[in-house]
């Protein structure tokens, strides 16, 4: 039988998630051990210790997440594998390794040394006046001004990433 403490995340009957708020307490006549569990909806109920299991650990990072590494001067890395070793260790690959990195471009690191980076830029709203600074198939349009008419396109930019904008320029589009 597992021992829990206040604050532990648990599952009752492997279905209901909650958090221990009080216990352990011996039942009347000492037949079993009881804990008070706050369910996700805020309701508190008692459960026998034998009905409780530790809640599964939800990984903090997923494969292909971009993270910064506090141990490497906020360098960027991509999560390659994990979590393992108790749910706190990941294998990462440096995005732009420093010149002195040598062969140490892929290594393991703890989740506590990583911070997830939100690489998805906010979309420019339709109707916004913009200056074209990059357009793979319309190099002659660079520097021109226009109005965003769509931000849900699937053009491929020069680095292979999806380009979401359709811009109207003096009667034409890019």
Residue tagged 């589009």 (tokens)? 173
pLDDT at residue 19, rounded to an integer: 93
Per the domain annotation, does 111 fall within a domain?
A: yes
Strands 16-26 and 33-39: what pairing? antiparallel
Under 8 Å between Cβ of 78 and 95: yes
pTM of the predicted model, to two decimals? 0.41
Same domain, 111 and 70: yes
CA dihedral 111, 115, 120, 121 (to 10 degrees): 180
Q: Give tens-digit pLDDT for 115-133.
A: 888 766 677 888 888 887 7
Under 8 Å between Cβ of 168 and 147: yes
Q: Give tens-digit pLDDT for 11-58.
A: 888 777 899 999 999 988 888 999 999 988 889 999 999 999 888 766
Per the domain annotation, does 163 fall within a domain?
A: yes
For the chain, what is the domain count? 3
Q: What is the CATH number of the domain that holds 29?
A: 2.30.30
Per the domain annotation, does 20 fall within a domain?
A: yes
Query: Domain containing 81: what range?
Result: 66-116
């Amino acid at each position: 039988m597992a021992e829990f403490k206040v604050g532990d995340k648990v599952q009752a009957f492997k279905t209901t998630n909650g958090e221990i708020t009080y216990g352990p307490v011996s039942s009347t006549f000492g037949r079993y051990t009881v804990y008070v569990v706050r369910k996700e909806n805020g309701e508190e109920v008692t459960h026998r210790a034998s009905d409780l299991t530790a809640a599964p650990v939800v990984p903090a990072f997923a494969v292909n997440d971009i993270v910064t590494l506090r141990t490497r001067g906020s360098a960027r890395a991509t999560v390659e594998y994990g979590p393992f070793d108790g749910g706190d260790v990941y294998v990462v690959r440096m995005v732009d390794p420093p010149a002195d990195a040598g062969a140490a471009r892929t290594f393991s690191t703890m989740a506590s040394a990583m911070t997830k980076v939100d690489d998805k830029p906010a979309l420019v709203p339709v109707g916004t006046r913009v200056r074209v600074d990059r357009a793979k198939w319309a190099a002659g349009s660079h520097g021109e001004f226009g109005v965003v008419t769509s931000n849900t396109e699937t053009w491929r930019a020069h680095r292979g990433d999806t380009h979401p904008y359709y811009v109207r320029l003096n009667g034409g589009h890019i």
